[in-house]
């Protein structure tokens, strides 16, 4: 069995978030799936401000919305200069057999993602 890399987990989280955004009627102005490059999605919807969406894959199913507050302050300042809103999507992904085990390719997994934290 092959363990998913950090980039593969991130891509999985992005797919989950991207599907939800599409269901919500957003168009993607830009998508960046590279790890540690932000934002992952830049959204457009007629009549609304630009929205930057930050996606973070985590093994924490209980509280997937935890983030680095100091780093986030810097990003929020950047977004304010762009007159953009900021949404955070923490996506918990864990092995379905045991949350202590890594997530494997082509094996069942749990997803914890309810909604976006609207930070700005």
Q: Which domains does the chain have, with CATH numbers?
A: 6-118 (3.40.1350.10)
Give the pLDDT score at 52. 97
- Reported as a single tens digit per residue, the pLDDT across 58-101 is 998 999 999 999 999 999 999 999 999 999 999 999 999 998 99
The conformation of residue 18, written as its DSSP 8-state character, comes to H
Give the pLDDT score at 57. 96
Give the C-alpha distances (Å, rounded to integers) separating 9 from 59, 93, 98. 10, 8, 17
- Reported as a single tens digit per residue, the pLDDT across 34-54 is 988 899 999 988 899 999 999
86 within 8 A of 51, measured Cβ to Cβ: yes
Query: For residue 108, what are its two tokens?
Result: 């069942």
Give the pLDDT score at 45. 87
Give the pLDDT score at 60. 87
Query: For residue 19, what are its two tokens?
Result: 């599907």
Give the pLDDT score at 37. 87
Cis peptide before 14 (omega within 30 of 0): no
Q: Provide the β-strand partners of residue 44.
A: 27
């Amino acid at each position: 069995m092959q363990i998913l890399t950090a980039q593969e987990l991130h891509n999985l989280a992005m797919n989950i978030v991207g599907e939800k955004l599409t269901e919500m009627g957003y168009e993607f102005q830009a998508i960046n799936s590279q790890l540690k490059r932000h934002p992952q999605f830049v959204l457009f919807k007629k009549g609304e401000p630009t929205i930057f969406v930050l996606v973070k894959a985590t093994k924490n199913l209980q509280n997937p919305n935890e983030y680095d507050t100091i780093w986030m302050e810097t990003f929020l300042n950047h977004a304010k200069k762009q007159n953009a809103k900021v949404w955070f999507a923490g996506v918990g992904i864990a092995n379905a057999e045991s949350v202590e085990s890594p997530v494997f390719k082509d094996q069942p997994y749990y997803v914890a993602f309810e909604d976006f934290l609207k930070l700005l």
